[in-house]
Structure 1
Amino acid sequence: MTLYKQKFKKQRFPAHAIKPNLLIDSKPVEDSNELDYGWFKSPTNPESIVRGFSHLRIKNSFKLRAYLYTERGNGNGVVYAIPIDKDLPYPEECDQSDDPFLSAPKPSFALDDFMQAIEGDKTPLSYLQASILFHELKEFGARWHGTSWSRDIILPLNEGQKTHFDYCEWEMLKDEPEIIEPHFYYSFEGNPIAIFHTINDIGTVTLNRYVHTFNKEDYTMQVELTCIATAATLRDDIYK
């Protein structure tokens, strides 16, 4: 019974645990032109995001590189894990990815999931950091209409945000969360699970739950997003 309680005990985290905790000097990794449009190689290194988290690292045999897409102020990006001895090809030299939304270029030697190239110390904090990293890399290079995750505010709110959201009249779609702070536990099957809640103010304001269920062997995961409540649209004057 003691072992069971240790295994299934939920560990809560303070709000600052979701933030990168190391300072990184990001240097360009690809040549670029400010007039680039369509798909092009990102001069910004997505590895700098990983290196900001103290409990995670990139496997020695891989590196992360990205393509960006721009069109009339909108932007999207896609990150790939590629072998350390390979160079990122130009977009026109690649086949398209299986993602019908972006139709992004994908090198033939890239991993299907960039989280396959991530490793860590297997602590609860490392899984929380990995869940944040996943969303940051998924929205790498996004701008304007390409953004979604970047408008998520992870709960609990600070005092300024609380004052702003006092104007909300929430319509509950699901039960109110018992634990609002980011937290971690192991499932009955032994899978690491990291959960946090957010408020997103794009269009209709939503209260959301993100559940990240990790594979036992690595930091790849399945993500389940649930809208818990909705509220009226708010002013565009809050930030993380």
Structure 2
Amino acid sequence: GPIRRAVLPYSVLIVGLLVTSVLVDLLSIEGAGEYVASPATWLLLTCLLTPALVRMRGVRLSRLIVEGLGAWWTIAYSTSAFLVLGGLLAASGMSSALAGYAAQLGPAYLALIPVVGGLGGFITGSNTGSAAMFSTSTVQAANALNSSALIALAGQNAAASVTFMAAPPRVALAIAVAEGGKSTTDSSTPDAGPIQFGSVFRPVVLANAGVVAILGIACFLLA
């Protein structure tokens, strides 16, 4: 029962996204109607439905909302700052300058695009922040190399989508959630002690490095 209730929010999110995406394509919905299939729309809707789905109410729900807003704020203001920085880079011409220098590396730069995106995701802790800073220069560099801007941008975003999981704040959040889960398990289970940051951070970084390397090869061959 508890496991089924815990899976319900994810089920609403995934099924809702899939069904609305198919409907938007089949019905050729355009304009504002496309927001029905937006991940942002379904994330917000899932958050609103989750208390009812997992039967959470009263003081526990109020406390969770306060804690959630506190965790959200630390991510929101930093992501907003990187969005502003990305806008400044594009408006000042810095993105064009970076693209020009990158294009001088020739086709080899295509293999480095996921590395740039991956570093951006790791530093910002956000795929959105990484995209805001590097997307313009990535597209311009790909065009200068007569390569596919779409594939280059996909490689950058895919890399950032993976590496932001290794950002220290994300790792710390994952450890906090796992520690909270341990406190609710059967007391008869032996306690292995607190989860060490390095025991989570190192394998995640290694896995991310492998994914970024594969993406780099893919971008070089396909773009």
Which protein shows a greater Rg? 2
Structure ranking higher in helix proportion = 2
Q: TM-score, normalised by structure 1?
A: 0.22
TM-score, normalised by the number of residues in structure 2: 0.23
